[in-house]
Amino acid sequence: MKKRLFILALMISFILPAYADTVFFMKPVTKEIEKSDANKIIKNLEANVKSKLNSVSYNDVSKSKLKKFGKCGMKPECWSENAGDEDFQYVLLSLISMNEDEEVTVRLVLINIEEEEVVDDESKTYDYADDATEKAIFAQIRKMSAFGDIKGGSKSKSSDKERKKRERELEEKRKEEERLAKEREKKQRLEEERRRREEEEEIARLERERARRESEKKKEQASKRQSLKDNAKKLEKARELVLEMCSEGKYNAAIKAIVKVSEIKCECEEDAKVLALKTQLLNFNKVREQILKGVEVKNSSLILDNIEAAKALDESIVDGGTEFSQKVDKYAATGWLARGKEMEKANKYVEANEAYEKCAEIDPDKTECSDWLNSKDKIVKAIYDKANVMKNFNPTKAKELLRSILKIVTAENEHYKKAEQDLQQLEY
| CATH number of the domain bearing residue 96 | 3.40.50
174 located within any domain: no
Predicted pLDDT of residue 86:
86
Q: Is residue 387 part of a domain?
A: yes
- Which of 151, 178, 193 corresponds to the end of one domain? 151
Asked which of 117, 151, 185 is the last residue of a domain, the reply is: 151
User: Given this model, what pLDDT does residue 160 score?
Assistant: 55
Tell me if residue 412 falls in helix, strand or coil: coil
Identify the pLDDT of residue 28.
93
pLDDT at position 355, please? Answer: 95
Give phi and psi for 103, each to the nearest 5: -80, 140
Within-domain flag for 419: yes
Residue 179 lies in a domain: no
pLDDT computed for residue 428 by the predictor: 67
Which of 127, 151, 175 marks a domain boundary? 151
pLDDT at residue 101, as a whole number: 85
Question: In which domain, by residue range, is 335 found?
Answer: 291-427
Q: How many CB atoms lie within 10 A of CB 108?
A: 20
Please count the structural domains in the chain: 2
Helix (H) or strand (E) segment spanning residue 90: strand 90-98
The answer to whether position 283 is within a domain reads no
- Of 127, 130, 123, 132, the C-alpha closest to 101 is 127
**Does residue 243 form part of some domain?**
no
Residue 405 inside a domain? The answer is: yes
Whether 414 is in a domain gets the answer yes
User: How far, in Å, are 2, 80, 168, 171, 185 from residue 177 at the CA level?
Assistant: 54, 19, 14, 10, 12
Dist. CA 376–CA 286, nearest whole Å: 38
Closest by Cα among 259, 246, 374 to 322:
246
> Longest Cα pair distance anywhere in the chain, in angstroms?
191
Along the 428 residues of the chain, how does pLDDT read in single tens digits? 444 434 444 443 433 344 468 999 989 999 889 988 889 899 989 888 888 898 899 888 888 888 888 889 899 999 988 888 888 889 999 999 999 888 999 999 999 998 889 989 989 999 888 888 988 898 888 888 878 778 765 444 445 556 678 888 888 999 999 999 999 999 999 999 999 999 999 999 999 999 999 999 999 988 888 888 888 888 888 888 888 888 777 888 888 888 888 888 888 888 898 898 889 889 988 988 999 999 999 999 999 999 988 888 888 888 777 778 878 889 999 999 999 999 999 999 999 999 999 999 999 989 999 999 999 999 999 999 999 999 888 999 999 999 999 999 998 888 899 999 999 988 86
Looking at residue 383, what is its pLDDT?
Answer: 93
